[in-house]
Amino acid sequence: MSKGESFIKGTIILAAAALVARVLGLVQRVPLEHMLGFSGDASFTLANNVYLMLLAVATAGIPSTLSKMVSERYALGRPHEAQRIYYAALLFAGGAGIVMTLLMYIGAPYYAALAKEPAAALSLQAIAPSLLLFPAIAMMRGYFQGRNMMSAGGISQIIEQFARVFTAIVLAYVLLRIGYGDTEVAAGASFGSVLGSIGAFLVMVYYTLKLRKKDAANRIQIERTGSEIVIPLRQIYSDIFKLSIPIVISSLTIPAVNFIDGTLIKPLLIDNVGDAAATAALGILGTRAQSIAGIPPILAIALSTSLIPVISAAYARKEEDNLKRQISLALRISVLTGIPIVLMLTTAAYSINGLLFSNTEGAGIIALLTLGTIFQITMMTTNSMLIGINKVNLSMVHVLCGIAVKLLLSVLLAPMLGIYGIIAATGLCFVLITVLNLRSLRQVVSFSVLGNRWIGFLITIVVLTVAGLLCNQAGIALTAWMNHRVAFFIGCCMVGLATLVIYPVLLVLLRVVRSEELSSYPGPLRKVLGPLMRLQRGRAS
């Protein structure tokens, strides 16, 4: 297999694993929401948010840095250095795992009290042991990527998610049937992450043994000779952290936002709306809204990220015209693919809520949080671009500014707008980071996302929004004549069908997408838009 084919195969494996993980996350939340009350939802949300935040701090950035360092050493014929770096990374992972686990377990009651949800302490403690293994798993994934064995990390991620989701649902169901309350059921669901980490670790151990046999067969010797220089651990850690810390901070935006929300929602709302309503808002945001809002970025980020290596290569070769074209195309694809999914889920929020969950409470929370994800998509895409052109420090500074604004605006808006003020602060955080990223990118190269096509695009958005709301309202009206879930399902189908028909037709008719640029789009978009281009040619004639 050629290097190009190997890279494409590895990218597909990792993208598929990320997609499976995101889908399973939603699959997990739906049955849990039916088994848990608002207090249980709030406890599970807090535990999950803290866990993801600590996990990002412990592992984000370092695996990719490790991958780069390992692949470079093997390419230079210095496998002993690669093994030394891997050894150092595993040492760090072991220490980080112990510290994070103890920190989360011991600090659980204090954090739960700070968040004004004392019942969440048990869920936080139940999920804590998973942090023992996950830093090591992340390092192992980074090492295997450096050895060009992408399937190891992808398969371990898929096994981890299946084990986590399955055990979380089963444990929650068993505890509920036995007669335990919300607190214990939520803790059982949280413990599923521990089983997921064990499953992922076993997969990585299997691939480690397999790689050792392969190395032995190829007679790759890692024994040192007198002429080899042993790299000091201090130097290895200095090199790793110098590269990875900016990436860590850049990747923290979403976990940090969710952590801020989980920590502040009840303290900010409880005096105005009472404990029960504040608990319900936290539970709805974490269990329903965040799981639905996680859907739009999947396709758009996957499509645009596929262009990032091209952007990086164009920048390295100082090909300004190519760089301008690729940045414009990546941003255009992000917006064009993200908007229809965002509007579909936003306009159908009430029907989706009624279809998937136990009641229709919180549809507004789901709609507003999902609407803001269009800026999450542009934020993540532009962050990747800055990293691709070696401006990772700028990306880090912009993320820190956005998180600071999110924190400040949450405190200012919550007394006036309640939970909607906190969600609005999240959207404005994403907007600020996107604007700062775009400004920095324009200082490197001029580019245009849609140019003079914005009016046509805005008309498309308005028409799509109106059509979606009308279809959703029609589904709600059907509840008077049939089972509510069936009516909500029909409403969701009508919104989806209207979006799939209206959106691409308007893009072509209003010349937002043009035939001369179609060949530069990814294959899936060409298949959708290609047959419609005759509408554009018909208008031109």
Write out the DSSP string of 20-31. Answer: HHHHHHHHHHHH
The predicted structure's pLDDT at residue 387: 76
Instruction: Identify the band that residue 3 occupies on the pLDDT scale cut at 50, 70 and 90.
Output: very low
Distance of CA 273 to the CA centre of its chain: 31
* Tens-digit pLDDT profile for residues 108-137: 999 999 988 899 999 999 999 998 998 899
Of 31, 494, 508, 485, nearest in space to 291 by CA: 31
In this structure, are residues 100 and 54 in contact, taking their beta carbons and an 8 Å threshold? yes
CA triple 102-105-109, angle to 5 deg: 135
Of 344, 351, 453, 334, nearest in space to 385 by CA: 334
The predicted structure's pLDDT at residue 4: 42
The predicted structure's pLDDT at residue 5: 43
- Report the C-alpha gap between 91 and 113 in whole angstroms: 33
- Report the C-alpha gap between 171 and 267 in whole angstroms: 30
In this structure, are residues 93 and 298 in contact, taking their beta carbons and an 8 Å threshold? no
Residue 1 has pLDDT above 50, yes or no: no
Tell me the pLDDT of the chain averaged across its residues. 83
- Please state the pTM of the whole predicted model: 0.81
List the structure tokens of 332: 């255009």
In this structure, are residues 291 and 25 in contact, taking their beta carbons and an 8 Å threshold? yes
Residue 147: what are its φ and ψ, rounded to 5°? -90, 10
Of 373, 347, 369, 372, nearest in space to 289 by CA: 369
* Tens-digit pLDDT profile for residues 439-458: 999 888 888 877 788 898 89
- Report the C-alpha gap between 66 and 49 in whole angstroms: 26
- Report the C-alpha gap between 173 and 32 in whole angstroms: 9
List the structure tokens of 116: 């004004």
Distances in Å between the alpha carbon of 371 and those of 303, 429, 515? Answer: 20, 13, 29
List the structure tokens of 19: 């997609």
How much of the chain, in percent, has pLDDT values that exceed 70?
86
Residue 335: what are its φ and ψ, rounded to 5°? -70, -45
In this structure, are residues 507 and 460 in contact, taking their beta carbons and an 8 Å threshold? yes
- Report the C-alpha gap between 292 and 286 in whole angstroms: 10
